[in-house]
Amino acid sequence: MRHARIPTITLCALLVGGCQNWDLLEPDPHAGSTGRAFTRLGDEAPEQLTNEVAIRRLQEIEQAVGARRIELIDLFTEDFPESRMIPEVHELTGEGYLTAGRAEDAVSAFGSALMMRRTDLLGLPLDTDLPLQLAMAKLAAGDVPDGLRWLARTSIADSSPPMQQALRWAHSQYGEGEFDDWLGSLLRQWQVEAPGFSLPGLRKDLVVLEQEMGRATLINFWSPT
């Protein structure tokens, strides 16, 4: 395998328009109708982490780079420990580590963010930014096989020509064997068997998935409401 030096990749900054998983935080019973407030999960916690505070602090972190970004994140999580439940905090931390050359720390941060995201059957979030960042961090950290695997998983969610070209290029530089054989082997590993079910069809007939075994079947779920 060729272990060429992984080039530095500049990642696009995430536009933070809000935070997920805030429902995991403790609601403040004294919050007014103008906004939702959250208090620290502790007995002595006079400070409050509101939506406005979180968004403002995350925007400040996003505008910083390298060591300054890590410093701001440390201050944020020290002021509000419950902010560690916000996936964007870990994503921004990972970006800061990656630009600072701390690839292994970036892998850990992106992995934490991925665990907090709502994912599909392949463990991928609804957007492809995070798994792509994790792939780049793993490649930069020298974990080439897993980095390529994450890049391949990203290409499943994002089948655009640029992504497919990037996957082929990365495999040509750092992978082993033929590209089609390697990708085919991964796809077979990731195959997920659909659970059996039966539902009424358009003509009031019963559609049983098991009866479609061995045939390519497109199932379109829809509702009139």
**Number of other CB atoms surrounding residue 77 within 10 Å:** 16
- Residue 115 within a domain: yes
- Residue 28 within a domain: yes
- Per-residue model confidence as pLDDT tens digits over 30-84: 344 333 334 444 444 435 788 888 888 889 998 998 888 899 999 988 888 888 8
- Residue 104 within a domain: yes
CB 37 within 8 A of CB 28: yes
Segments forming the whole domain that contains residue 70: 22-196
Q: Supply the pTM of this predicted model.
A: 0.62
Residue in the structure block whose two tokens are 């406005």? 52
CB 50 within 8 A of CB 38: yes
CATH number, domain containing residue 192: 1.25.40.10
What is the total count of domains within the chain? Answer: 1
- Residue 213 within a domain: no
Residue in the structure block whose two tokens are 């049983």? 208
- Per-residue model confidence as pLDDT tens digits over 131-185: 889 999 999 999 999 999 999 988 887 888 988 999 999 999 988 889 999 988 8
- Residue 214 within a domain: no
d(CA 39, CA 10): 36
- Residue 42 within a domain: yes
- Residue 8 within a domain: no
d(CA 217, CA 225): 25
- Residue 168 within a domain: yes
